[in-house]
Amino acid sequence: MAHSVEFEQLVDDAKSRVREVSVPEFAQWQASGRHAILIDVREDLEWQAGRAQGAVHLGRGVIERDIVAAVPDKATPVVLYCGGGFRSALAADNLQRMGYSAVWSLAGGWKAWLAAALPTTAE
């Protein structure tokens, strides 16, 4: 998907403050028993079409509103993903500003998850 220069600049700015984890690194975390809540920040229709197995859904439009109820301990490791890693970086930046200290954006997002042939589920 082509993005505007302005959007890419906004994402680049957020990524300068956000940690990213690659799909293979995250898969290794899971295999080694390292705990992190995987949150899908995509739109409802994207979530319904398919998602990473074990993910919870807090769409980009509501995550800042609902994250405290979903993850009250702000030290809990959280990995966010979207379609390609842009929206998740923006959301991760905001969560850090809200006091969450262990937040990552999944580099490459859903596209990278599918390319790695990791487990998925759909409605």
Positions marked active-site: 82
Q: Which amino acid is at 99?
A: G
Residue with tokens 């980009």: 60
Report DSSP state, residue 43: -
Pair type for strands 103-106 and 56-57 = unpaired
The answer to whether residues 91 and 15 touch, using CB atoms and an 8 Å cutoff, is no
CA 97, 32, 20, 63 torsion-angle sign: negative
Q: At what angle are helices 87-97 and 5-15 packed, to 10 degrees?
A: 50
The answer to whether residues 107 and 24 touch, using CB atoms and an 8 Å cutoff, is no
